[in-house]
Amino acid sequence: MYAPFEGRRQEKTRDRLCGRIHTNSRIHSNGRIHLNGWQHTDRTEQEQKRKTVMILAGKNKFERNAPCWCGSGRKYKACHMQFDEKLRKYQIAGNIVPDHSLLKTRADVDGIKKSAEINMACLDAVEKEIAAGMPTEDIDRIVYETTVRMGGIPAPLHYEGFPKSVCTSINEEVCHGIPDTKHVLKEGDIINVDCSTILNGYFSDSSRMYCIGKVSEEKQRLVDVTKECVEIGLKAVIPWTHLGDMGSKVHAHAVKNGYSVVREIGGHGIGLEFHEDPFVSYVSEPGTEMLMVPGMVFTIEPMVNMGTDRIFQDADNGWTIYTQDGKPSAQWEIQVLVTEQGHEVLCW
């Protein structure tokens, strides 16, 4: 759906928090996070160099004996030359392939993992305290205090004006729920807590569902099937296959169980910026979308609705997304690295 290369219709996106929103007009993200007047930029000189390099069919921008673009210090011929040749062959055959800026180095992956330690610690801390009678403002406090104590920065805080450190979406709220003192959890609620962290310029992102007390069988089944969708998607993360292969399997499992999947919002690349290419759809077709290439990092985060896939945005706060029919929605999110052998979950 998202087409960064010539030859495909240029779909338009707007970067938000838990995923990427497709719209009819393009609004570019500036790739920066504004936090209390501090402007966070995450591009080192080496990353800027990688960003400018595209995989162009039939054109090699690197000399065999020059240092490799990945920053390993090794000669290009002994490092990524064969990898790039393979990538060009796929591109010539008509596949969408990532440019070098989307491929994470070992140092990048190590940095993301350290960021993810904080992110997962936040969700673990929420799990210990979440209960009926708790206002969602308390969840925001837990996430903020845990993140800061461990040396990180809550990525959502002030991102495009978002006022809190985490998203809390209850029942029919699909995503981008804003924590406050008015929303108090009650017995039978299901809630998605979506947490994102910055540490030393590296971004991590994951979300979990929490069932408050005894929930209905219908809600419990929705939560369970949605988690199964993520697990099925993860198994389909196979190097040198398409994102559409993964997305179609996620969609098929949801539909088989009588549910729908939100179309307008999907996963995204992440690691050096909060939201990177590619857009990750879960209503895609096999053999379509970008090729999953070793070094890519993205999220698997389908939003599965009990009823219709139609959604709408809160007209007052401009953030929270709801199901159109008022039926519950569920979402789990993991952050995944494509490896030569398969995949590695970096954050959950």
CA distances from 143 to 61, 159, 221, 281 (A): 44, 16, 27, 28
| Domain segments of the chain as ranges | 106-347
Nearest CA to 194 out of 299, 108, 64, 327 is that of 299
Model pLDDT, residue 61:
65
258-286, pLDDT tens digit by residue?
A: 999 999 999 999 999 999 999 999 999 99
Model pLDDT, residue 237:
98
**Residue 45 gets which letter from DSSP?**
H
pTM recorded for the entire structure: 0.86
Report the 10 Å Cβ neighbour count for 190.
23
Q: Is the pLDDT of residue 326 over 60?
A: yes
82-100, pLDDT tens digit by residue?
A: 999 999 999 999 999 999 9
Report residue 70: phi and psi, to 5°.
-80, -10
DSSP annotation string for 285-347: -TT-SBEE-TTBEEEE--EEESS-S-EEE-TTTS--EEETT---EEE-BEEEEE-SSSEEEEE
Distance CA 76, CA 292 (A): 22
Report the 10 Å Cβ neighbour count for 161.
8
- Measure CA of the first residue to CA of the last residue in the chain; give whole Å: 25
- What's the chain's average pLDDT? 87
Q: What is the mean pLDDT of residues 13-19?
A: 50
- For residue 160, count CB atoms less than 10 angstroms from its CB and return exposed for 0-12, middle for 13-18, buried for 19 or more: middle
Confidence of residue 18 (pLDDT cuts 50, 70, 90): low
Confidence of residue 311 (pLDDT cuts 50, 70, 90): very high
Q: What is the mean pLDDT of residues 313-336?
A: 98
Better pLDDT: 207 or 5: 207
101-135, pLDDT tens digit by residue?
A: 999 999 999 999 999 999 999 999 999 999 999 99
Q: Are 100 and 50 in contact (CB under 8 A)?
A: yes
Instruction: Dig out the tokens for 305 from the structure.
Output: 């609705």
Instruction: Dig out the tokens for 216 from the structure.
Output: 């209905």
Instruction: Dig out the tokens for 242 from the structure.
Output: 């398409």
Distance CA 125, CA 127 (A): 5
Nearest CA to 70 out of 79, 61, 60, 62 is that of 79
Confidence of residue 62 (pLDDT cuts 50, 70, 90): confident
Confidence of residue 69 (pLDDT cuts 50, 70, 90): very high
Spell out the SS3 assignment of 159-202. Answer: HHHCCCCCEEEECCEEECCCCCCCCECCCCCEEEEEEEEEECCE
Confidence of residue 16 (pLDDT cuts 50, 70, 90): low
199-252, pLDDT tens digit by residue?
A: 999 999 999 999 999 999 999 999 999 999 999 999 999 999 999 999 999 999
Distance CA 303, CA 20 (A): 12
Confidence of residue 41 (pLDDT cuts 50, 70, 90): very low
Distance CA 176, CA 100 (A): 31
CATH homologous superfamily of 106-347 equals Creatinase/methionine aminopeptidase superfamily (3.90.230.10)
Q: What is the mean pLDDT of residues 292-304?
A: 98
Distance CA 181, CA 198 (A): 26
SS3 11: coil
- For residue 135, count CB atoms less than 10 angstroms from its CB and return exposed for 0-12, middle for 13-18, buried for 19 or more: middle
